[in-house]
Structure 1
Amino acid sequence: MFERMSYRINHILEPAFPEQRLFLRSEDGTRFIRLSPLTQFLGWTGSAGFVAWAIIATAVLLMDSIGSGSIREQAQREQQLYEERLQVLSAERDARATEALAAQGRFNLALAQISEMQSELLASEDRRKELETGIGVIQTTLRRTMAERDNARASLEDMLAAAREEAQGPSIAAGEEASDMLTFMTAALERTAGERDRMAQEALDAEELAREMIFEGRLRDERNDQIFQQLEDAVSVSLEPLDAMFRASGIPVDTILDSIRAGYSGQGGPLTPLVLSTMGGEPDADTMRANQILSEMDRISLYSVAAQKMPFANPVKSAVRFTSGFGMRWGRLHAGSDFAGPVGTPIYATADGVVVHAGWSSGYGRLIKIQHEFGIETRFAHLSAIRVQKGQRVSRGERIGDMGNSGRSTGPHLHYEVRIDGEAVNPMIYIKAANNVF
């Protein structure tokens, strides 16, 4: 049956592929191979299929090469844009750091001026009280002297009247006695008048000094107000971005500050309060204003300490590509952010903490876990090298590993996670918040 079917096929193909004979000559003789129409058809079909496959494969490779070139060019453009963005952010961070240092210097200078002015105010207050006491004594003495003068004048008039009455029955001895008394009383009255004039002049001088001190006090108050206004503006400029950064962290700001304050036990470091003396009296407006500024500066100092303990930093400082963010992906939660770059790119700790894991973990590959304050944990996955050990304490900005492609990874990149009490949060919240401050 097979032979009959082969014969029919050959008969059908014979007009297009007539039977051919291939002669092979050797020393022993001449042989030939008969090529039937079916054999020729199969050979031609195979050759045509091979040629078609070669053309299609060449076209596919050419298109893939063109596509790869476009992807590489796009990746280079994205990398260039990312590097430019990093340079801009770095310049902004340096400018903000310079402004913060300048504001800190202005604050320290103004604080010294406040202390000096406070001392001057206290000294002027003491002088004012002494002057008030002196004026009171002068006024009392003046009133007493004037009363004595009036009494002496009345006594003199009485004595003159008595002398005139006695003069009607004159005697030489009585006249001489009256004359001596009159001379004595006149001299006493002149001394009293001189003392009165001197005391009156001292009172006028004291009043003039009091007016000058009041004028100086007003000038000092105006200067104090200007200095306080500059301090309040500088503190506000420094405090507002810090408040916004810590509010974005997702942890109550009061909880953070209370924890940092408790860690210092209220002694030493930036948390030591500065108290201005009020000489035992009620604090005045300037003292209350200064204490408010000091309270806000204490808050800034607490923020500075807390910022080192929370992951307000970028784990990669080199030029890398942001390839995947936090959120649902393919029906599953992608619990971190991915940064792609060359193998061996340095990876840095984003906050002070203790290494709780440094080794291989299924899926993560080479993994580092760092425990921070406030229940925060950071994870660095798919590393090519680990440069820390479990239990080691690390500081923010310290190199802890190298970027790699270990574990379930499709290419060299860093998978970076931030977790609060075990629950994953978006790491970009912290990175973007820090970009506005550092």
Structure 2
Amino acid sequence: MRTRLAIRIHSFLERRFPERRVFLKSDSDTRFIRLRSETQLVAVAGITLFVAWTIVATAIVLMDTIGAGNFRELAKRDQQTYRDQQTYRERLNAISAERDNRAEEALAAQERFNAALTQISMMQSELLASETRRRELETGIEVIQSTLRDTMRERDTARKSLAQLKADTRDENTAHAAMASASAQMDMLAGVLSDTAEERDRIMADARDAIGQRDELELELQLMDERNSQIFRQLEEAVTVSVTPLDKMFRNAGMPPERILEQVRRGYNGQGGPLSPLAMSTRGEEPTAEALRANSILAKLDQLNLYRLAAQQAPFATPVNLGQVRQSSGFGYRRDPKTGGRRLHKGSDFAGSTGTDIFATADGVVTHAGWQSGYGRLVTIRHAFGIETKYAHNSKLRVKVGQRVSRGDHIADMGNTGRSTGTHLHYEVRVNGQPVNPMIYIKAARNVF
């Protein structure tokens, strides 16, 4: 059997690799090398193996080169991301400090404004009192002038009577008595006139002093109005600078500010209290321009307070310290790391070391804290506006169901539980039960917090 098999193999090789001879000719001799079928087969096999090995080695070298390039590019990108995160945190701290300074300036300006209003009220009272006194002095002057005119008429009448007495009286004694009586009356009238003139001069001097005080009060009121106008401008600028970024943040996150603020106003829990409009008059008069301006500023401050409450209840913060992790996968369709199929990834993944702190991204109530298939150890928090956040694959949970948490509270430690290929946090944001991209909220809050 082996002989027949050998013969058949040899015949097959003869058909594929017929015997060849290689002649080597010299000046004196001619020789040849006989290449049998088996020899040719071995040579072809060796050459094939050598070429295959060369191709494989080249492919390995190319893959290593490409992998090294990708690794360097990834390292550069991670370094750039870390630098961007550092810049973001520094900018965030600077903006927070500036926001606090603006708030302190607004409070100080409001205190100065209240003090100015009190001082204006006092000055208005003094001005009214001065005006009343001036009118009383004018009335007194008119009375004195009227009395002076009556006295002068009486003096003229007495002089005419004296002249008549001189003409009609022949008796010298009677004339002397009349002269003495007339002289006494003249002295009395002169004294009355002198006193009246002194009183008039004194009243005129008081009137001039009152007019001078009125002018000083009017000048001081004008300066006070200018200072108040400057305070109003500073307050308006501070409020605008504070409200505009918050309004833009909510709009970028797809949350209409009008609807959000209305919901916050309806569910207002009394912390702080809305600012009440100023009432500049108690007599039912129309409000002044300053009152309208002040009420506009107070309305904006109330809006700023509502924005602050709404921002605390929406997931604008990051669930991890970005300087300690990197984003390994985003929201959207991707290749499933387990099955290899195309599948919707409903959140964002942040890779880091085991035990990395995980924080709540907004105020809310814990509705789940335990194991859930696929998610591993999971924390679910319900927030306002129909928003819910999920924190999956944790190694340790630090909250319980029903517990109320605030933004920045430590709620879990990063791990590799559940359907996971490595240590990371799977972070989800759901609005009315539908998953949305968490980075919409995180990016919207950049340069604000």
TM above 0.5 = yes
Q: Which moved more, 1:65-74 or 1:370-379?
A: 65-74
Q: Confirm whether residue 71 of structure 1 aligns to residue 76 of structure 2.
A: no
CA distance in 1, matches of 2:192, 2:298: 63
Residue 398 of structure 2 corresponds to 387
Residue 350 of structure 2 corresponds to 339
- The Cα of 1:359 is off from its aligned counterpart by 3.0
Residue 295 of structure 2 corresponds to 291
Pairwise CA RMSD of aligned residues?
3.1
Listed as ranges, the matches of 1:2-401 within 5 Å are 4=4, 6-10=6-10, 13=13, 58-170=57-169, 171=174, 172-264=176-268, 267=270, 269-273=272-276, 275=278, 278=281, 280=283, 282=285, 283-319=287-323, 320-329=325-334, 333-401=344-412
Counterpart residue type for residue 157 of structure 2: D
- The Cα of 1:276 is off from its aligned counterpart by 5.7
CA distance in 2, matches of 1:140, 1:103: 54
CA distance in 2, matches of 1:311, 1:154: 94
Deviation per CA, 1:311-337: give whole Å up to 9, x if none: 111112133333443344577543323
Residue 422 of structure 1 corresponds to 433
Deviation per CA, 1:104-123: give whole Å up to 9, x if none: 22222212211211111000
Equivalent pair of 1:261/1:271 in contact (CA under 8 Å): no
- The Cα of 1:66 is off from its aligned counterpart by 3.4
CA distance in 2, matches of 1:67, 1:184: 127
- The Cα of 1:100 is off from its aligned counterpart by 1.0
- The Cα of 1:93 is off from its aligned counterpart by 0.7
Deviation per CA, 1:384-422: give whole Å up to 9, x if none: 443333222222112222334444445443332212211
CA distance in 1, matches of 2:111, 2:288: 19
Q: Which moved more, 1:43-52 or 1:348-357?
A: 43-52
Structure 2 spans left out of the alignment, 5+ residues: 20-35, 336-341
14 and 433 in structure 1: CA distance in 2 versus 1, 3 angstrom threshold:
closer
Listed as ranges, the matches of 1:397-412 within 5 Å are 397-412=408-423
Q: Which moved more, 1:383-392 or 1:121-130?
A: 383-392
SS in 2 for 1:388: coil
Counterpart residue type for residue 321 of structure 1: R
Equivalent pair of 2:275/2:298 in contact (CA under 8 Å): no
Counterpart residue type for residue 334 of structure 1: H
- The Cα of 1:153 is off from its aligned counterpart by 0.9
48 and 404 in structure 1: CA distance in 2 versus 1, 3 angstrom threshold:
farther
TM-score by length of 2: 0.83
359 and 54 in structure 1: CA distance in 2 versus 1, 3 angstrom threshold:
farther
CA distance in 2, matches of 1:290, 1:233: 13
Q: Which moved more, 1:140-149 or 1:412-421?
A: 412-421
- The Cα of 1:94 is off from its aligned counterpart by 1.2
Counterpart residue type for residue 348 of structure 1: F
CA distance in 2, matches of 1:261, 1:408: 42
Counterpart residue type for residue 160 of structure 2: A
Counterpart residue type for residue 119 of structure 1: T
Residue 21 of structure 1 corresponds to none
Counterpart residue type for residue 322 of structure 1: Q
396 and 294 in structure 1: CA distance in 2 versus 1, 3 angstrom threshold:
same
- The Cα of 1:189 is off from its aligned counterpart by 1.6
- The Cα of 1:339 is off from its aligned counterpart by 2.8
Counterpart residue type for residue 90 of structure 1: R
What is the count of residue pairs matched by the alignment? 419
CA distance in 1, matches of 2:162, 2:375: 127
SS in 1 for 2:385: helix
Counterpart residue type for residue 205 of structure 1: D
CA distance in 2, matches of 1:348, 1:44: 68
Equivalent pair of 2:369/2:399 in contact (CA under 8 Å): yes
The percent of aligned pairs where both chains have the same amino acid is 40
Deviation per CA, 1:59-91: give whole Å up to 9, x if none: 554444333333322221111011000011111
- The Cα of 1:299 is off from its aligned counterpart by 1.9
Equivalent pair of 1:318/1:345 in contact (CA under 8 Å): no
- The Cα of 1:137 is off from its aligned counterpart by 0.7
CA distance in 2, matches of 1:75, 1:14: 57
- The Cα of 1:8 is off from its aligned counterpart by 3.3
